[in-house]
Copies of this chain bind each other. A is one copy, B any other.
């Protein structure tokens, strides 16, 4: 399964496609179509329920995407959030210098170099312009934020579209800390948009200019960095880690949490992230790893920084998220620029909280779900998403469009809807074709209303993965479906098997 195939499936089925295509899309912008939107909501809600569920003092907030300039003075983005841009001496084509080098030299260790160092490498390896075959004349720096002018005339102010959801959280920290009755650890999450003027957006949902992040900022006492009240529960849990020293051998090792040479508060959350990938998203174990980053690769504000990576079919190992120990870098930056004290008095101790950030790119996680679970079988194509990620909980079909079956199906639809289930209702085409459609878009259960339904108030449920069917009483239908989706009941045991 290559990128082109996934883009093709995504477009034909209605998951996502390039934005505003009729007007000539700008690269790095994708729209979620009707199925992709449903899938994205599923992912976001699973993320919320998992990560906000880790602590009673973890909350979601929704800061603005447009923030005033001083926010980014304080965060360091105005000065440091820059890309090295190489410019062709002949045709003025621009591309990221690190991307040019990576592509030509099949190497990916170019992070953290200065423009001069990039220029030297470009010259040394005689990198040529992919458009006109000329040579590059210079490597400059371009800030990746989108600036805006808010207001007009004498009231105008400079603002930026936020390049990460995190800053909107930091400027809310003090007020939330007061409102939430001065307890830490306190977690503030955002599932929201971020914007970066990437010079070479690429690989569909992997590197976009407008994208969605799911991030949780945990504020805690730096004195407690080597504790977590639930650490015991993960002490023997094995993390799959890809250490710096194994870069060449590409070896992934399994290390129990208690043996990781990192603070316990950090390691505990590594374990939680891995569990989210393995247990909730059902990523096969051997396709997941935590990558240790070198000092050059780390973001400028991070003390510890490991990436959660998944081995995709189309791109190999791809960063899906990261665990970032940002220390007090951000809060102190905001204190310095705003004059607002970020010190807190917590149980007698006075300090600036440290921040642990769990960060995930929502779009690439969506892409990965399709990449990993799309299958072509002899008779059908299927996306066997984990059931909780099905764009809809079930397909619902009257077997035929007569004999009072549509009316009965409508009644059942109302009942299931009232019980909170999301339904894809379809009454056209042969039943076999309707089942195939569900397979193609990854809906894991199909409920059919047939003539027997009218006689004994039962319906059939078909399992996408095995194509087996069971027959179930309508009275129990919602409960049975929920139990199957949440893996509380085995499908075959949930009803009478249809032979």
**Chain A residues engaging chain B, CB cutoff 8 angstroms:** 11-14, 17, 19-34, 36-38, 40-41, 49, 53, 56, 59-68, 70-71, 74, 85, 87, 91-94, 142, 146, 148-155, 157, 159, 161, 168, 171-172, 174-176, 179-181, 188, 193, 195, 197, 199, 209-210, 334, 337-338, 340, 417-418, 420, 425, 428, 486
A108 CB to nearest chain B CB (Å): 23
Q: Given A14-B176, A19-B63, answer yes or no on A152-B199 (Cβ-Cβ < 8 Å).
A: yes
Of A66, A148, A340, the most chain B CB neighbours within 10 A belong to: A66
Q: Could you tell me if A157 and B199 are in contact, using CB atoms closer than 8 angstroms?
A: no
User: Beyond A37-B61, A94-B154: 13 further Cβ-contacts under 8 Å?
Assistant: A19-B168, A20-B68, A20-B171, A25-B68, A28-B150, A31-B168, A33-B61, A33-B175, A66-B195, A91-B154, A142-B152, A149-B197, A150-B197
Q: Could you tell me if A176 and B34 are in contact, using CB atoms closer than 8 angstroms?
A: yes
A67 to B31, CA, bound (A): 11
Q: Could you tell me if A26 and B159 are in contact, using CB atoms closer than 8 angstroms?
A: yes
A62 to B40, CA, bound (A): 9
Partner of A31, one of B11, B32, B56, B63: B63
The residue on B at minimum CB distance from A60 is B37
Assembly stoichiometry (copies): 2
A26 to B338, CA, bound (A): 14
26 A-B interface contacts by CB (under 8 A): A14-B179, A14-B180, A19-B64, A19-B171, A20-B64, A20-B68, A23-B71, A23-B74, A23-B171, A25-B68, A26-B151, A31-B64, A32-B61, A34-B176, A34-B180, A34-B188, A37-B59, A65-B193, A66-B146, A66-B209, A93-B154, A94-B155, A146-B148, A149-B197, A150-B197, A418-B486
